[in-house]
Chains A and B, each alone.
Chain A
Amino acid sequence: MNGSFWAMGGYARYVWPCFAAAGIVLAWNVWSARRYQLACRLRARRMLQAGAE
């Protein structure tokens, strides 16, 4: 990768933050969905255990 690629024709300070924002939003989506999925699974498991006891 040469310097001109990172410079983006002088628009680097607009282009790269856009791709960084996209990366953050996509990563947040995966993280929050996974967290929600695991929390719901744990809650359901606890309810089942409480019902069995």
Chain B
Amino acid sequence: MWTWFYKLASPPYVYAAAAALLPWFCTLALVTIGYGLVDGLAFAPPDYQQGDAFRIIYVHAPSAWMSLFAYTTMAVAGAIALIWRIKIGHAVAAATAPIGASFTLLALITGSLWGRPMWGTYWAWDPRLTSELILLFLYVGVMSLRSAFEDPARGDRAAALLAIVGVVNVPIIHYSVVWWNSLHQAATVAKLGKPEMSASMLVPLLSMLLGFMLFFGAVLCMRLQGEVLNRERQARWIREAVK
């Protein structure tokens, strides 16, 4: 029953799949991000309260979403590796961490630049901002822990454990604007079936979100290929792969 699962997770299969998917992810990411940028910057109308500053949403919201998505991916991959002892899970987790950390940093920078004209400050110890900053620390912690051990297998296990424990921060970030009083605005897009944005603003935002996801896929494919090569360099199939 589980044969397909293990076949899917075999390093040569993953290496080949990453190579095959990479050009698709790159092309589609370019198209969707390009469309989102042009539509969001040039054609979407200014917000009636925030004016043109609202356009920051086209990079802020996708990077914030991706910071959570990448962390969840990393934790799930770590859990799969720990529970089923599937080594490729550790490779996926290791490849995801720097991408997720960079998206988190971008979300914090763009949020801070948005906060200055809207809230009058670059930073506030607000539940949403603070929990997102903790997410960045978690990413840094996971990456540091992985490289802190001489034995890479122990580093992988320790990093996977920290990633799994830290995943509790993901719902805290998402619901922080509901559970506590927050300067940060509540969800405007994630309300299923009834987003509080007009279509002319929403379409470029969804295009940017899709583009960032595809971009994440493209960079993950590149990093994953490196991780697999690094971890499987003794394997026989590597000879063909690096020719």
Contact = CB atoms under 8 A, between A and B. Distances in A.
Interface of A: 5, 8-11, 14-15, 17-19, 21-22, 25-26, 28-30, 32-34, 36-37, 39-41, 43-45, 47-48
B116 A32 contact: no
A9 B46 contact: yes
B52 interface: yes
Given A36-B226, A41-B242, A48-B238, A21 B106 contact: yes
Given A21-B106, A22-B106, A41-B229, A15 B242 contact: no
Nearest to B229: A40
A33 B59 contact: no
A44 B29 CA distance: 30
A47 B117 contact: no
B137 to A, nearest CB: 18
B55 A5 contact: no
24 contacts: A8-B52, A9-B46, A9-B51, A9-B52, A14-B117, A15-B53, A21-B106, A21-B109, A21-B110, A25-B63, A25-B103, A25-B105, A29-B102, A30-B222, A33-B99, A33-B222, A33-B223, A37-B222, A39-B226, A40-B227, A43-B229, A43-B230, A43-B233, A44-B230
A48 to B, nearest CB: 6
A10 B51 contact: yes
B242 A18 contact: no
B228 to A, nearest CB: 8
A40 B226 contact: yes
Nearest to B232: A44
Interface centre among A18, A37, A43 (most CB of B within 10 A): A18
B4 to A, nearest CB: 27
Contacts of B53: 8-9, 11, 14-15
B76 interface: no
Contacts of A41: 226, 229, 242
